[in-house]
Copies of this chain bind each other. A is one copy, B any other.
Amino acid sequence: MTLDPKDWDAFRTSAHAMLDASIDKLANAAEGRVWTPLPEAEKANIQANLPIQGVSHDVMQKQLESFLPYGVGNTHPRFFGWVHGAGAPSGLMAEIAAAAMNVNAGGRDHVAPVVERQVIEWSAEIMGLPADTSGLIVSGTSMATIIALKVARDQAMNTAQGQLVGYTSTQTHSCAAQAFDILGLGRDHLRKIACNDALEIDVHALQTAITADKAAGFVPFLIVGTAGAVNMGAIDDLEGLAEIAKAEGLWLHIDGAFGATAVIGEHARARLTGLSRADSLAFDFHKWLQVNYDAGCVLIRDEAAHRGSFSDRPEYLHGSERGLAGGAFWAVDYGPELSRGFRALKVWAHMKEHGVEALAAVIDRNIEQAQYLENLVKASPKLEMLAPVPLNICCFRYKFDGDNDALNEEIVVQLQESGIAVPSTTIINGQLAIRVNLTNHRTKESDLDMLVEAVLRIGGELT
């Protein structure tokens, strides 16, 4: 009458078979195609009628195993699309433990809040923020941004009357404008400031905009700086933004989705000192730190402000000095989710098992690889760079006298469909770029050689 297996030994056999198939996949992550479209037969299996009767563990194990080849492809060393981390096999162990515990990490006195709070403290230390910095483990930077900007909004509304406005650059990730929309501030009230040639926010233009808005009766309350812009990796002048925020009394939020974590390495650290001056900071563990999806973090300097924006526990969530309703850190006081899995466990285990030194080596190597690729592009008369390479992203294209955008889009589609490599595309200064993002611990220089060869071959065939 329970949902437990009728035969535990048979279940154990199926579960171990599932684990072996999963480890086989990861042990061979560098082999074969990067991305393989889902076959129609698999699709039909998934799109079944609402199941009234169940199936055996054995049948389910084979079904799940059959899905393994049809993911996004980001475990493969030649996945260069968007900003996807590759994950690590060690994540399997943490996910198994978390599934067996099945905790709701919304609050109460058990292992999960202790682990989560420790991850937040490690994160604050890495970013140069005080040890008592507040924070929360979330699904990713989009959620982190909503939480951070709500706290900033609430603080501003405590003291100011009038229409709040914020500032960011044209290169900032869309999650900042979306947070303005969700929070009822209105997308248009996040001003998009122009960038310099390095695609960093123009600090003088920012100051001019703030002054103009104040003169027009708006209430500036927020600057959103970027540490690693999604298009090509630009890092804003964070120290410059911190100075303006201080002088103007504004909240400084930094979107460091992948870029902020480069502070643990050598190559970008000097440009990331301003992280320590943020009022709030959003970043992901599942990108450049290679934690399995999904896991991000919001850090907020002012714990009371953070708690004040989310803590409003009703009677059925009443805490207690003793018993299970005790515990110092209740996540529900710091974010909108009351039910939450034990996401912090895989982050804690990943950092503990690999250590910061090995994670930093991956980051620095990816930055070197982006420069290696830039050199390959510059060495080829058929290719041209479309943006500088400040971090780990290389935007280039195949040269063509005709419809450049259509040609390069087709090259990317053919690369993906061939299974050879997965870059993505973006638009830089109005031109479509082949965008190669390196946030993958499995990528080797030879993978980049293979990519460039394939781009030249496909480009040649198409022109």
Question: Could you say which of B105, B178, B286, B325 contacts A424, with CB atoms under 8 Å apart?
Answer: B325
Assembly stoichiometry (copies)? 2
Known: A51-B352, A184-B183, A348-B46. A3 touches B72 (CB 8 A): no
User: Is A16 an interface position by the 8 A CB rule?
Assistant: yes
Question: Could you say which of B68, B139, B290, B358 contacts A54, with CB atoms under 8 Å apart?
Answer: B358
User: Is A398 an interface position by the 8 A CB rule?
Assistant: no
**B60 and A90 contact, CB distance less than 8 A:** yes
**B352 and A18 contact, CB distance less than 8 A:** no
Q: Which residue of B lies closest to A287 (CB)?
A: B339
**B37 and A354 contact, CB distance less than 8 A:** no
Q: Which residue of B lies closest to A59 (CB)?
A: B353
- 8 Å CB contacts to B: which residues of A345-371? 345, 348-349, 351-359, 361-362, 365
Complex interface bits, A159-200 against B, C-beta within 8 A gives 1, otherwise 0:
000000000000001110111001111000000000000000
Q: Which residue of B lies closest to A94 (CB)?
A: B64
**Interface size in chain A (residues, C-beta < 8 A):** 161
A63 CB contacts on chain B under 8 angstroms: 349, 352
A435 CB contacts on chain B under 8 angstroms: 316
User: Is A96 an interface position by the 8 A CB rule?
Assistant: yes
A100 CB contacts on chain B under 8 angstroms: 21-23, 25-26, 68, 75, 92
Known: A88-B3, A90-B60, A103-B71. A50 touches B125 (CB 8 A): yes
Complex interface bits, A77-118 against B, C-beta within 8 A gives 1, otherwise 0:
000011011111111111111111111110011111011001
A220 CB contacts on chain B under 8 angstroms: none
A5 CB contacts on chain B under 8 angstroms: 89-90
**A139 and B337 contact, CB distance less than 8 A:** yes
Given contacts A46-B114, A105-B293, A315-B426, list 13 more A-B pairs with CB under 8 A. A4-B441, A5-B89, A5-B90, A22-B100, A26-B100, A43-B114, A51-B355, A96-B96, A102-B293, A140-B339, A174-B313, A292-B341, A293-B339
- By Cβ-Cβ distance, the 8 closest A-B pairs, closest first, are A184-B184, A22-B100, A140-B339, A87-B102, A54-B355, A71-B101, A323-B413, A323-B416
Identify 28 residue pairs between A and B in the complex whose beta-carbon atoms are under 8 Å apart, listed by A's number.
A1-B361, A3-B88, A4-B29, A8-B23, A12-B20, A18-B97, A48-B118, A52-B356, A54-B357, A63-B349, A64-B93, A71-B103, A82-B104, A82-B316, A85-B102, A92-B99, A139-B339, A140-B337, A140-B340, A143-B336, A179-B336, A184-B184, A231-B315, A294-B339, A322-B413, A323-B417, A325-B413, A325-B425
**B114 and A38 contact, CB distance less than 8 A:** yes
**A99 and B22 contact, CB distance less than 8 A:** yes
User: Is A141 an interface position by the 8 A CB rule?
Assistant: yes
Question: Could you say which of B320, B340, B353 contacts A413, with CB atoms under 8 Å apart?
Answer: B320
A47 to B231, CA, bound (A): 37
A359 to B409, CA, bound (A): 47
A105 to B296, CA, bound (A): 15
User: Is A142 an interface position by the 8 A CB rule?
Assistant: yes
A23 to B441, CA, bound (A): 31
User: Is A212 an interface position by the 8 A CB rule?
Assistant: no
